[in-house]
Amino acid sequence: MQRIVVIGAGHASGQLLDSLRRAGSEAHITLVGEESWLPYQRPPLSKKFLSGELTAERLAFRPESFYEKHQIHTRLSCRAVSIDRDTQTVSLAGGETLAYDLLALTTGTRVRELAIPGAELAGVHYLRGIDDALGLQADWQGRDNVCVIGGGFIGLEVAASARTLGKNVTVVEMMDRLMARAVSPGMSEYFLGLHTRNGAHVMCSTGVSELLGTDGRVSGVRLSDGREIPTDVVVVGIGVVPNQELAQEAGLACDNGILVDEFARTSDPKIVSAGDCTNHPNSLLGRRLRLESVHNALEQAKSAAASLMGEKLAYAQVPWFWSDQYNSKLQMVGLSEGFDRAVQRGNPDEDKFSLFYYRGDVLIAIDSVNRPGDHMPGKKLLAAGISPTPEQAADPEFPLKSLL
């Protein structure tokens, strides 16, 4: 019987396992995951889970019975430490080895850590997994002041959750605007106003030099200009790095992620990879990139599963993302970097608008706030290479789907 080992228990592995069994694979499958949880959805961690609206059970990608029914052997709280491609074995932290005929790497990313004095104090949190969220939930109960370091998606979602729970929130962002790596200046400005209106204090163009402590617990944040912010809890959201070391040490090609082709195959024909950890080609965008998104993990995992089955399913889709902050849902499709014109559709003052981004006459991306009617046809327009005119995009009454 063919042996497949899957390393990493996130979105990509959950989809990969599902796709394999749906496709009729009868292989002996072993899932190796560092966390104690079966594959689960991460996006709610900074939103509804953190604010107490969702339980951990509701996050599961598939129930435990799925793995039992499909005879998927799970090795949780277990770390893979090395891959020997010559003997086709994976060594685990406890000294055990697993033999494989085919291997899938869905190792994801890990948080980028603060490298400043005081970063090790109690009360300093990162948010990547369920256990992180549970720890933050428990720690900020009965504590009023939260400082979020980093004004990206995770930092702002945590800030919104904390404000919803009545915490006093300060957001400190090193760059000159919020979510600067992901959205345009116009969208950054809207979200600055949103957080300010909801009572958060946002400080951009501001660095952090030290975390101050009292009796081993964080009590303040010293900014790079010398000012100090008293706080009870610090949440750090300054980005992630791909978990490529296992692949790299095994001699697989890596460059800001594990290098794969459009079929999710690595430089070793017996090994595939999918999800946040991969650097992959996108024929629609005409370049390689590494994406941190649920959509990427799920769709690329389908291609990886097909490759494990000896079939070819190219992964070539327009990227899309989302973020929930207060009552505003941001939905993004395409990549807006390099745009030379932004066209507004709808009214930001009503928390309901979209920005259409053009390079020349070509639509390259759409960011929508509370306008799913723009986002859904927008995905299809970008995938088909159809560009509405700027006048059509600016007219909220113009039916975008009429162009399809």
Residue 114: DSSP 8-state: P
Q: Which domains does the chain have, with CATH numbers?
A: 3-110+241-308 (3.50.50.60), 113-236 (3.50.50.60), 327-403 (3.30.390.30)
* H or E element that contains 11: helix 11-22
The predicted structure's pLDDT at residue 244: 98
User: Pairing relation of β-strands 233-236 and 124-126?
Assistant: parallel
Contacts of 363 (CB under 8 A, 6+ apart): 334, 356, 357, 381, 382, 386, 387, 388, 393
The predicted structure's pLDDT at residue 286: 86
In 3D space, the residue among 25, 26, 107, 78 whose CA is nearest the CA of residue 272 turns out to be 107
Residues in the chain, pLDDT under 70: none
The predicted structure's pLDDT at residue 75: 97
Contact 264, 278 (CB under 8 A): yes
277, 278, 279, 281: CA torsion to nearest 10: -150
The predicted structure's pLDDT at residue 202: 98
Q: What is the pLDDT of residues 210-249, one digit of tens each?
A: 999 999 999 999 999 999 999 999 999 999 999 999 999 9
Looking up tokens 């902050």, which residue turns up? 325
The predicted structure's pLDDT at residue 146: 98
Residue 323: DSSP 8-state: E
Give Cα 218 distance to the centre of its chain: 27
Paired residues of 324 in beta bridges: 329
Contact 109, 98 (CB under 8 A): no
Report CA-CA distances (Å) from 316 to 219, 221, 313.
Answer: 48, 44, 9
Q: Which pTM was predicted?
A: 0.95
The predicted structure's pLDDT at residue 283: 86
